Amino acid sequence: MIVPGGHSPSPWVVRWLSAIPFGGAVLDVACGNGRHVALLRANGRRVVAVDRDTTAITALAAAEAECGIEVVTTDLENSPWPWAGRTFAGVIATNYLWRPLLPTILRSVAVGGLLVYETFLRGQEQFGRPSNPAYLLLPGELREVVRGELEVLAFEEGPDGEPPLAMRQRICARRPGVFVPEQGAMNCRPAERQTPERR
């Protein structure tokens, strides 16, 4: 799947998508051009997408409004968290790091829900941006962040690609317990594929 703009979903997100429980919304943090919003929609998920600039996904959200794509435009680094007390069946974050927000992101994972996180690691500066240490994870950092709160299902870090094009760290972690679907929650049907008429 390629969304407008030519960006494919992260293989890490694709790998763990089916492990996110149905019956609740999935939060896409710093959703960018909507590559994972489109993926989640195709999988029949309800999505909450947030970024400080949501221009790129406005058309997608409008087209799928009946399916429950909620778009929130806010600067998470300088504004209150929009969902105080709310939790999600899944929380996805890729290519984004703002350390003060990490505890809030963790608290947003529902019991039985999944965190799927992937972003750049120290050493990325040799490949290009980002090169500011403030936006680069330390070795093992995500594993330490979730320790004692979420159960790690998978963790990877190191050169990404062949030949390497970036340095990344990835984690998939679950909050222990049984996920309880939101009352009255309905997931949407996957996007239907058009088949050509026979002549």
Query: Does residue 190 sit within a domain?
Result: no
Residue 21: is it exposed, middle or buried by C-beta count within 10 angstroms (0-12/13-18/19+)? middle
Please report, in tens digits, the pLDDT of each residue of the chain (199 residues total): 444 444 789 999 999 999 999 999 999 999 998 899 989 988 999 999 999 998 888 776 666 555 678 999 999 999 999 999 999 999 999 999 999 999 999 999 999 999 999 999 998 988 888 889 999 999 999 999 999 999 999 999 999 888 888 899 999 999 999 999 987 655 565 544 333 333 3
152 within some domain: no
Does residue 52 fall inside a structural domain?
Answer: yes
pTM for this model (two decimals): 0.87
Residue 111 falls inside a structural domain:
yes
- The tally of domains found in the chain comes to 1
- Counts of helices then strands in the chain (DSSP H, E): 5, 7
CATH number of domain containing 74: 3.40.50.150
Residue 4 forms part of a structural domain? no
**Predicted pLDDT at 7:** 73
Residue 161 lies in a domain: no
Distance CA 110, CA 5 (A): 32
Q: Could you tell me if residue 138 is inside a domain?
A: no
Report CA torsion sign: 147, 150, 152, 156: negative
| Domain-located, residue 45 | yes
As a whole number of Å, the end-to-end CA separation of the chain is 28
**Domain enclosing residue 43, as ranges:** 11-79+98-118
CA distances from 5 to 1, 8, 41, 86, 145 (A): 12, 9, 17, 31, 33
